[in-house]
């Protein structure tokens, strides 16, 4: 079966520095795929290339939306990428702090709705219906991530773990078929991580593919179906969690070279 | 009472203010007679004023209630003094039988309330009701008297029996309600002070003060029992304004209301979408000149040009918007500043097009179909036009803010990258903000040209942009009520401070600085809309 996301020989240069070096990544429908690697390996850069924040130097990013024609994402603006059905969260939380939790999610639905200026001023029945739909649907998404009690709270007042969950809710509101999560468990305590584990699996079971950057190995090993390991912008390994756990190249990248072999 | 540290700091603050204002307040150079006048008493006033103000602020930080009471007492005692010094009027201070009776009732009621206030819940409510009556009666009677004086000549003689305000020479009933109000206020103030004092003695606050969660004062504005009467009062006031005040006042109010619209328009760009625009006056100029030129060359009327002015404003907004889409913050500010100056310089130097610095005169006033208006009448007409404009703007801006597009603007202000990642087209959103903001400036420009019947480039300097920006920042970014209040304050204050012509800019500046120190988020910070969702249906 054709993968949903097929990244071929993706390369990204910043001046003389090659942040990503001919990276190949495939994500299939219904999978949770993890992208791991040491700090500075180029994982977030990879996300930024796919979602249009950076324009990759070379390579192909091919997206296969279910039931639609294949689309090349290179050079598309971030909002166009989101419109294709690819939503993301950020490593350093980027919510809209002075808007309410519900409004944050409502923003996510922007690209799936189309009220114009005149609709906003005259509030014709169509616009009102759409507004109502936005509120209701956003609220149901909030319920999914169990933030409904905070709906009218400012986003900046939420506890850390809840802010992370809100980022996921906001991404879900864009109605994606694939979710890119950039270190969703960063800074969470074990209890929160466990809840996140359940949430991600639940989202997968609803039919979304998930590409995940994560440092928490316990989480990665427990939920991923497939793992890519990156170091210095190059792919050094790929496989199922069991394969990766025993891969010498991965152990070397994470723990350093064994003294005896040096 | 006051710690020594506060007094020391207060003295330092006073010294600093004396130093700052010394060249303005104390030295007066007369270049004609080549003399220097040293106004030493002014220095004392500044010192005493800043010292007391500092102590008062300290008190306000520690004990809000006491500070409010002090302010009330000061105002209470100062008003008769001011009346005395300005008009030699001591009528408030004279006692007669009615006043004495009123005072006695007040005192009795005060003691009764003080004895009971912490005990009986219902009784306390009744007693507060009587307080309301006690103070309300003179207020209502004063208002009725004033209204009677104004309205009486306008009521047909046949209907006079319906009005209770007929002052016939035979049985003149003279009630000095002001004096009685004064006594009532004294009783009430005394009562509040004693209550606060007793409460602090017993170390228990009256329960209506303790159990409530802390609410910002601006949020009171949106509460129903405050909001509706306030709205009614404001709308009545603004509707009756031209009939209550002189033409001069109406003229000032028209320009203030124009700035309300300008502020609300710029609020879309700066307050809501977060794009710092320092050249907003350019769109204002575009609107004004489009009416002036179209009227001069093609004899187009006000009503035709009003939408054209708006559309031209929007067009120029987009024209400015396109090149600056990639810019943010300081860089955007500089480019928009340049744009504003370019428009003004073009108007100033392109003589064939805009008649240069001498401007365009004899622009038609807005016509009222079928009626030939006198000068005064047309000013009143202009006033109502501006009011309609203000209401229209509030309506549209309010709806825009609370819509899909408005949310996108807010999100753009909060975080541009996240905003794009959520599927919002940054370019489109910014351009609509620029265009819609500029539309209002264009329309007010047309209104301005019609009001003054004369435009020249001197009306559209950077200072105007700065004032409009001040309105938005002082009012509270993104808050409609805040922008309206600050526009009225900022435009009306310099007008009414003309009596202190030497110092009015000083006071203006001081007010701005004080605002920024104590309320950096503006008079009324914007509150996000909350939604109520019926959980059962989902």
Residue A36 forms part of a structural domain: yes
Which range of residues forms the domain containing residue A162?
A: 96-175
Residue A91 forms part of a structural domain: no
Phi, psi dihedral angles at A106 (to 5 degrees)? -60, -35
| A137 part of contact set with chain B, CB < 8 Å | no
Same domain, A255 and A228: yes
Same domain, A156 and A168: yes
Same domain, A185 and A79: yes
Contacts of A70 (CB under 8 A, 6+ apart): A2, A62, A63, A64
Q: Smallest Cα–Cα separation from B387: which of B259, B262, B239?
A: B239
Q: Smallest Cα–Cα separation from B290: which of B360, B356, B379, B352?
A: B360
Best mutation target among A94, A141, A169 (most B Cβ atoms within 10 Å) is A94
Pairing of strands A17-27, A86-88: unpaired
Same domain, A69 and A124: no
Q: Are B425 and A79 inside 8 Å of each other by CB?
A: yes
Contacts of B128 (CB under 8 A, 6+ apart): B113
Last residue of a domain, one of A175, A206, A226: A175
Q: Are B414 and A99 inside 8 Å of each other by CB?
A: yes
Q: Are B528 and A99 inside 8 Å of each other by CB?
A: yes
What are the pLDDT digits (tens) for B48-68? 988 888 888 888 777 777 778
Would you state the torsion angle of the CA atoms of residues B281, B283, B284, B289, taken in this order, to the nearest 10 degrees? 120
Residue A21 forms part of a structural domain: yes
Residue B396 with chain A: CB contacts under 8 Å: 121
Contacts of B358 (CB under 8 A, 6+ apart): B456
Residue A90 forms part of a structural domain: no
Tally the C-alpha atoms within 13 A of residue B484's C-alpha that lie toward its C-beta.
Answer: 12
Q: Smallest Cα–Cα separation from A108: which of B83, B227, B423, B299?
A: B423
Pairing of strands A5-14, A17-27: antiparallel
Q: Are B533 and A127 inside 8 Å of each other by CB?
A: no
Residue A123 with chain B: CB contacts under 8 Å: 399
> In the beta sheet, which residues pair with residue B63?
none
Q: Tell me which residue has tokens 């199922």.
A: A240
Return the pLDDT at B213. Answer: 45
B406: number of Cβ within 10 Å: 21
Shortest distance, CA B219 to any CA of chain A (angstroms): 16
Last residue of a domain, one of A175, A197, A229: A175
Q: Smallest Cα–Cα separation from A48: which of A22, A83, A73?
A: A73
Residue A41 forms part of a structural domain: yes
Same domain, A26 and A49: yes
Return the pLDDT at B1. Answer: 56
What are the pLDDT digits (tens) for B450-471? 999 999 999 999 888 988 988 8
* Residues of chain B with confidence (pLDDT) below 70: 1-2, 89-96, 98, 116-125, 144-180, 199-226, 500-502, 504, 534-538
The ipTM (two decimal places) reads 0.90
Return the pLDDT at B206. Answer: 45
Chain B residue at shortest CA distance from A118: B400
Return the pLDDT at B94. Answer: 66
Residue A126 forms part of a structural domain: yes
Contacts of B258 (CB under 8 A, 6+ apart): B386, B389, B444, B447, B448, B451
Return the pLDDT at A113. Answer: 86
Helices (H), A51-93: 78-84
Here the tokens at position A210 are 């998930």
What are the pLDDT digits (tens) for B486-529? 899 888 888 877 776 667 677 777 777 777 777 777 777 777 77
Same domain, A39 and A145: no
A to B CB pairs, distance under 8 Å: 123
Give dist(CA A122, CA A116) in Å, integer. Answer: 10
Best mutation target among A93, A107, A154 (most B Cβ atoms within 10 Å) is A107
| A65 part of contact set with chain B, CB < 8 Å | no
b/e code A115-132 from CB counts within 10 Å (16+ = b): bebebbbeeeeebeebbe
Give dist(CA A53, CA B185) in Å, integer. Answer: 65
Region A209-222 average pLDDT: 89
Same domain, A194 and A144: no
Q: Are B423 and A82 inside 8 Å of each other by CB?
A: yes
Report the mean per-residue pLDDT for chain A: 89
Q: How many domains does chain A have?
A: 2
Contacts of B394 (CB under 8 A, 6+ apart): B264, B480, B484
- Packing angle between helix B121-151 and helix B97-116, nearest 10 degrees? 150
Return the pLDDT at B201. Answer: 65
CATH number at residue A201: 3.40.50.300
Same domain, A25 and A135: no
Same domain, A142 and A245: no
Best mutation target among A99, A155, A157 (most B Cβ atoms within 10 Å) is A99
Return the pLDDT at B219. Answer: 60
C-alpha distances (whole Å) from A39 to each of A42, A186, A214 are 8, 13, 11
Give dist(CA A226, CA A204) in Å, integer. Answer: 13
User: For residues A87 and A256, which has the higher predicted lDDT (pLDDT)?
Assistant: A87
Same domain, A79 and A105: no
Same domain, A257 and A194: yes
Burial class (CB in 10 A: 0-12, 13-18, 19+), A165: buried
Q: Are A110 and B424 inside 8 Å of each other by CB?
A: yes
pLDDT above 70 coverage of chain A, percent: 97
Whether A227 contacts A244, CB under 8 Å: yes
Same domain, A69 and A134: no
Last residue of a domain, one of A142, A175, A208: A175
| B391 part of contact set with chain A, CB < 8 Å | no
């Amino acid at each position: 079966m054709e993968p949903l996301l097929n990244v071929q020989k993706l390369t990204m240069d910043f001046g003389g520095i090659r942040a990503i070096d001919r990276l190949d990544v495939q994500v299939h429908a219904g999978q949770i795929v993890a992208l791991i690697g040491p700090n500075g390996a180029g994982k977030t850069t990879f996300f930024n290339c796919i979602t249009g924040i950076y324009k990759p130097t070379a390579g192909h990013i091919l997206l296969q939306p279910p039931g639609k024609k294949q689309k090349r994402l290179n050079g598309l603006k971030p909002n166009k990428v989101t419109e294709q059905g690819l939503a993301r969260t950020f490593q350093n939380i980027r919510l809209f702090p002075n808007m309410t939790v519900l409004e944050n999610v409502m923003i996510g639905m922007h690209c799936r709705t189309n009220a114009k200026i005149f609709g906003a001023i005259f509030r014709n029945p169509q616009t009102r219906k759409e507004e109502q739909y936005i509120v209701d649907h956003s609220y149901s998404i909030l319920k999914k991530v169990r933030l409904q009690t905070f709906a009218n709270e400012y986003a900046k007042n939420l506890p850390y773990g809840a802010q992370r969950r809100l980022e996921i809710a906001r991404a879900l509101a864009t109605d994606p078929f694939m979710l890119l999560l950039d270190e969703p468990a960063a800074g969470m305590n074990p209890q929160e991580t466990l809840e996140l584990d359940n949430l991600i699996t639940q989202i997968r079971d609803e039919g979304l593919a998930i590409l995940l950057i994560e440092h928490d190995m316990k989480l990665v090993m427990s939920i991923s179906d497939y793992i890519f390991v990156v170091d210095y912008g190059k792919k050094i390994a790929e496989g199922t969690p069991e394969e990766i756990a025993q891969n010498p190249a991965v152990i070397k990248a994470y723990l350093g070279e064994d003294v005896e072999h040096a | 009472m006051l710690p020594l540290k506060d007094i020391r700091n207060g003295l330092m603050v006073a010294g600093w203010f004396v130093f700052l204002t010394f060249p303005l307040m104390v030295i007066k150079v007369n270049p004609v007679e080549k003399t220097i006048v040293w106004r030493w008493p002014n220095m004392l006033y500044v010192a005493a004023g800043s010292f007391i103000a500092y102590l008062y602020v300290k008190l306000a930080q520690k004990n809000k209630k006491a500070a409010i009471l002090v302010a009330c007492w000061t105002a209470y005692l100062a008003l008769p003094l001011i009346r005395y010094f300005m008009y030699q009027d001591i009528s408030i201070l004279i006692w007669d039988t009615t006043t004495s009776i009123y005072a006695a009732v007040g005192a009795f009621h005060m003691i009764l309330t003080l004895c009971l206030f912490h005990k009986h819940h219902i009784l306390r409510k009744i007693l507060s009701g009587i307080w309301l009556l006690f103070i309300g009666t003179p207020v209502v009677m004063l208002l009725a008297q004033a209204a009677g004086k104004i309205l009486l000549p306008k009521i047909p003689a046949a209907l006079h029996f319906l009005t209770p305000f007929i002052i016939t020479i035979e049985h003149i009933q003279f009630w000095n309600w002001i004096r009685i109000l004064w006594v009532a206020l004294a009783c009430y103030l005394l009562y509040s002070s004693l209550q606060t004092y007793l409460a602090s003695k017993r170390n228990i606050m009256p329960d209506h003060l303790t159990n409530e969660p802390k609410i910002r004062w601006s949020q009171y504005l949106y509460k129903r029992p405050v909001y509706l009467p306030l709205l009614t009062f404001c709308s009545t006031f603004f509707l009756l304004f031209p009939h209550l005040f002189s033409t001069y006042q109406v003229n000032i109010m028209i320009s203030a209301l124009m700035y309300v619209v300008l502020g609300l328009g710029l609020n879309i760009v700066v307050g809501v979408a977060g794009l710092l625009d320092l050249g907003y006056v350019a769109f204002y100029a575009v609107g004004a000149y489009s009416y002036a030129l179209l009227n001069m060359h093609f004899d187009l009327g006000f009503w035709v040009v009003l939408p054209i002015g708006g559309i031209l404003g929007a067009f120029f907004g987009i024209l400015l918007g396109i090149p600056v889409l990639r810019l943010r913050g300081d860089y955007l500010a500089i480019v928009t500043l340049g744009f504003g100056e370019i428009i003004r310089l073009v108007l100033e130097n392109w003589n064939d097009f805009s008649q240069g610095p001498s401007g365009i005169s004899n622009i038609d006033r807005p016509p009222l179909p079928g009626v030939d208006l006198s000068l005064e009448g047309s000013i009143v007409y202009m006033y109502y036009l501006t009011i309609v404009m203000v209401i229209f703007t509030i309506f549209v801006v309010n709806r825009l803010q609370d819509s899909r597009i408005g949310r996108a603007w807010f999100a753009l202000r909060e975080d541009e990258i996240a905003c794009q990642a959520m599927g919002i087209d940054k370019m489109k959103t910014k351009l609509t903000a620029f265009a819609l903001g500029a539309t209002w400036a264009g329309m007010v420009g047309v209104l301005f040209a019609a009001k003054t019947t004369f435009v020249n480039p001197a009306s559209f300097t950077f200072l105007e942009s700065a004032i409009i920006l001040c309105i938005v920042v002082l009012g509270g970014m993104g808050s409609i009520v805040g922008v309206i209040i600050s526009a009225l304050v900022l435009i009306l204050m310099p007008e009414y401070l003309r009596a202190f012509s030497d110092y009015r800019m000083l006071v203006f500046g001081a007010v701005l600085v004080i605002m920024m120190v104590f309320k950096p988020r503006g008079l009324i910070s914007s509150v996000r809309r909350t939604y109520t969702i019926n959980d059962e249906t989902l």
